[in-house]
């Protein structure tokens, strides 16, 4: 396993995304993922599965210190009191004590950034989380947030895959010693996996298209990924990417695909994204 080293945080480069996993199926997938070797699980209050994620981790029998758990505070809860209450509720639901990483899920322009970042930092002081970070922050927002935080922000979780460039956000992450955790890292299982550039690299290495895409991400300095699957047989596939390396021409050809600039997650409350 590769780790993203960001300040004092060591984030396993591959984690299990859990958006849309629910109920017993979620408990089961989290436990199976840990059995398959995953050491990083990503949840959020908004996913409605924090309780099940916690239960899956307990069911796996893994030592608490051996697993990296991330959760997130929803963007409507960023005023000081709301953020503190939401974070405490998440910890109660997960039921494992402090999480490893607490993120602001999306920025909210109606709440002063300093207020949210101060409240987020207080979740470390209050023993709710070991580390803090953000998600869906642009490079400008990241510069502002990093300058105001009492505790280091260790990551920005953003959409990243071969059809979306993130050069500016990645440069900002590196400026501030933060990791970039890629969400929708396999393009939600869509067209990216059928692209000839990806398919030919997959054939050349005897790997699947998803493994090629994930490998392209984690080969970049400071980048990790949290693919989601609801199929137990795909858990191992999405983790088995540490036994080969892309060739330089493949890396360049995949990077060139990012010019398509196709964003999959762009809700009405999204910030003004970095221009490409
Ligand atoms: N911070 C944010 O705002 C934010 C936003 C979106 C997502 N996220 C996080 O990032 C995680 C991942 O992103 P995502 O769920 O949007 O998309 P994703 O991981 O790119 O794609 C998931 C889709 O790909 C399919 N898939 C999984 N493994 C595959 C494989 N090896 N080959 C072919 N298809 C495969 C899955 O289908 P099957 O279930 O059938 O395998 C599922 O439909 C989320 O679960 C969540 O934890 C965060």
pLDDT the model gives residue 154:
98
pLDDT the model gives residue 33:
98
Q: Which residues contact 90 (CB under 8 A, 6 or more apart)?
A: 45, 50, 71, 73, 99, 102, 128
Alpha-carbon distance of 85 to 123, in angstroms, equals 10
pLDDT the model gives residue 276:
80
pLDDT per residue as tens digits for the range 35-45: 999 999 999 99
Helices (H), 62-178: 80-94, 113-125, 139-148, 167-175
* Token digits of residue 229: 């699957």
Name all domains of the chain by residue range, CATH numbers in brackets: 12-260 (3.20.20.100)
173: exposed, middle or buried (Cβ count in 10 Å: 0-12, 13-18, 19+): buried
pLDDT the model gives residue 266:
98
pLDDT per residue as tens digits for the range 93-149: 999 999 999 999 999 999 999 999 999 999 999 999 999 999 999 999 999 999 999
pLDDT the model gives residue 7:
87
Cβ atoms within 10 Å, residue 178: 27
All residue ranges of the chain with pLDDT < 70 are none
Q: Which residues are catalytic?
A: 47
pLDDT the model gives residue 226:
98
pLDDT the model gives residue 231:
97
Residue of 44, 228, 233 to test ligand 1 pocket, by largest number of atoms within 8 Å of CB:
228
Task: Verify whether ligand 1 is closer than 6 Å to residue 108 (CB atom).
Answer: no
pLDDT the model gives residue 102:
98
pLDDT the model gives residue 90:
98
Task: Verify whether ligand 1 is closer than 6 Å to residue 50 (CB atom).
Answer: no
């Amino acid at each position: 396993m590769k780790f993203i080293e960001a300040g004092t945080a060591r984030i396993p480069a591959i984690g299990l995304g859990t958006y849309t996993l629910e109920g017993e199926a979620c408990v089961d997938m989290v436990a199976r993922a840990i059995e398959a070797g995953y050491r990083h699980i990503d949840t959020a209050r908004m996913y409605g599965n924090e309780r099940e994620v916690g239960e899956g981790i307990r069911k796996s029998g893994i030592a608490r210190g051996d697993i990296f758990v991330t959760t997130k505070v929803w963007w409507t809860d960023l005023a000081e009191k709301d953020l503190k209450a939401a974070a405490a509720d998440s910890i109660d639901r997960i039921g494992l004590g402090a999480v490893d990483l607490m993120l602001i899920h999306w920025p909210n322009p109606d709440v002063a950034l300093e207020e949210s970042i101060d409240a987020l930092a207080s979740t470390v002081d209050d023993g709710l989380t070991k580390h803090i970070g953000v998600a869906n922050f642009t490079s400008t927002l990241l510069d502002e947030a990093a300058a105001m935080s009492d505790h280091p922000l260790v990551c920005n979780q953003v959409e990243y895959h071969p059809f979306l460039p993130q050069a500016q956000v990645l440069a900002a992450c590196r400026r501030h010693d933060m990791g970039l955790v890629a969400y929708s890292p396999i393009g939600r299982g869509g067209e990216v996996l059928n692209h000839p550039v990806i398919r030919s690299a997959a054939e050349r290495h005897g790997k699947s298209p998803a493994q090629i895409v994930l490998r392209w991400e984690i080969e970049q300095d400071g980048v990790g990924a949290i693919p989601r699957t609801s199929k137990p047989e795909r858990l191992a596939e999405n983790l088995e990417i540490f036994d080969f390396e892309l060739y330089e021409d493949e890396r360049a050809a995949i990077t060139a695909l990012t010019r398509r600039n196709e964003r999959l997650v762009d809700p009405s409350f999204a910030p003004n994204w970095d221009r490409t």
